Amino acid sequence: MILPFAFRTIAAGLFLLESAKAQPGDANSCTKLANALPGRVYLPGTPNYTSLNTHRWSNTSILTPNCIVTPGSAQEVSTVVKTLVGDGTSFSIKSGGHNPNPTFNNIDNGVTVDLKLLNEASVSADRSYVTLGAGTTMGQAYDTFSNESIAFPGGICDGVGVGGISTGGGQSFFLPKLGWFVDNVLDYEIVLASGDIVNANQDSNSDLFKALKGGSTNFGIVTKVEVAAFTYNGLWGGQIVVPATNATTQQVLKDFTDFTAANNDNVDTAIMVVGLYSPDGSRIIDVGLASTNDTENPPILAPFLALQPQVLNTIGHKSLADFVHEVTQPMPDGYRMLTATLTFVNDLETLTQVQAATDVIYEEIKDSVPNLDWMFSYNPQPLAMMAHAAARGGNSLGLESLDHDQTLYWLVPRWTDASSDAIMHAAAARWYDEVGKITAKLGTADPFLYLNHAGYFQKPLCGTGADNVDNMKTVARKYDPQEAFQRLVPGGHKLSTEC
């Protein structure tokens, strides 16, 4: 019997989740690490183990590693890697813990490498770049620099970690003006499977430098990055929240599509639209918007500022740190969550039909999932964002030949009961199937899948194109010839299994 695509997709995904459970490896790895790194290893049943294990954005990522190790330097990461690779022990890598895919930042049985102590956030003497440890979160970095009159094009959510954003892409409110986070990385410090600590930049290991910019955890553990920075004193922006009536929703969809096209000529503005359908029946649209050069009321934002009736309006002058803290509020920790994404040509009819399909799936499952918050977001990706990659050696996102503006749609619902997991994951797979059919029918499909928003059943690396995949595989063979980071780190998107 040939299964429908959605069910084949979810079945394959569930198989991958099961197979991602750690293989036994060397049962003594935790003991070896505890002896080599006193005070850095935490075992089940201890308070620190519990607090470290549960400190994640989504409860779907709370698993049961044999131990958690918290290296405090690149040298200690090297010790950890050499021990685990030598023993053949499976492990996971946690930076900020902001990915809800099970096993992507945690593991059952094996070892979780928690980078929380790699939390450097400093400004260079000439103020041209900042240095960020891989365990630093965006919220921590923005707070550190809030009184420094300096900024960098970092993530939009507080809890996003540097390790993930620096290898996945990195959206920000500076995307049209400065490109992706990875386009602004000047240098990676990374620990390879051999335990060697190397730097990757345009002059040294330049092939690895490019591959890391979108290649995820296929090459090693990034321990810190240097990111181009600029003088910055704040922005004008905030949130506008309106009820998600049919009329208002359609208006926002039109305004969003118009904004995305105009964003190419108005690169100092940005928006992020979040929809939230709550268990009490209320439905809202939350528009996060910013004039990143601190200019009040730029005309391109006028349609959003005019939306009525406004349940909330927080528009004003504020620091980047305060703004990011504010727009993160609709996505707190403590729920079970999933993530899935699709990108398509910026087109009103497509966005309208995608939204309608998203609503249909919600209506079908809402009474079967207690405490369901059906949340989704759409973000503009104007063509202007690609003007910045080549200057620093390119990236591996697969957008170098892009000839159109994009809409990035993100499905990110949340719920509370693990008994609802199967319903939710099946709904996500069906959503991906249905919206894919819509974009194919309308001729607006786009292969790009943002890696940091992709579900475990999706294949974002394949969406970067054959040339990028071949290049990343070549780089992986060079720097990790035994494929340790593809074999022993079951979480994340893998070159050896996806493409």
Tens-place pLDDT, residues 400-449: 999 999 999 999 999 999 999 999 999 999 999 999 999 999 999 999 99
The domain that contains 334 carries what CATH number? 3.40.462.20
CA distances in angstroms from 392 to 19, 228, 285, 475, listed in the order given? 38, 11, 37, 18
**Is the pLDDT reported for residue 9 higher than 80?**
no
305 and 170 in one domain? no
Average pLDDT on 93-114 reads 96
Within a domain: 11:
no
The domain that contains 53 carries what CATH number? 3.30.43.10
Residue at a domain's end among 90, 114, 138: 114
What is the model's pLDDT at position 16? 43
Query: What percentage of residues in the chain have a pLDDT greater than 90?
Result: 92
Q: Which of 84, 53, 18, 77 is nearest to 485 (CA)?
A: 84
What is the model's pLDDT at position 459? 97
239 and 194 in one domain? no
pLDDT in tens, 19-50: 344 444 456 899 999 999 999 999 999 889 99
pLDDT in tens, 368-384: 999 999 999 999 999 99
Alpha-carbon distance of 431 to 374, in angstroms, equals 12
The domain that contains 150 carries what CATH number? 3.30.465.10
Query: What percentage of residues in the chain have a pLDDT greater than 70?
Result: 95
What is the model's pLDDT at position 47? 83
Token duo for residue 427? 């709904």
Within a domain: 275:
yes
pLDDT in tens, 64-89: 999 999 999 999 999 999 999 999 99
Beta-strand relationship, 221-228 and 235-243? unpaired
> How high does pLDDT run on average in the chain?
94
Within a domain: 16:
no
Average pLDDT on 116-132 reads 97
What is the model's pLDDT at position 11? 42
Q: Report the domain count for the chain.
A: 3
Alpha-carbon distance of 316 to 305, in angstroms, equals 12
Alpha-carbon distance of 335 to 415, in angstroms, equals 6
Token duo for residue 181? 């986070």
407 and 353 in one domain? yes
Question: Within 13 Å, how many C-alpha atoms sit on residue 296's CB side?
Answer: 4
Write out the residue range of the structural domain in which residue 358 sits: 235-453
Residue at a domain's end among 114, 133, 157: 114
What is the model's pLDDT at position 448? 97
401 and 353 in one domain? yes
Within a domain: 488:
no
Q: In 251-373, which ranges are E strands?
A: 269-277, 283-291, 312-313, 316-318, 336-337, 340-345
What is the model's pLDDT at position 6? 44
210 and 149 in one domain? yes
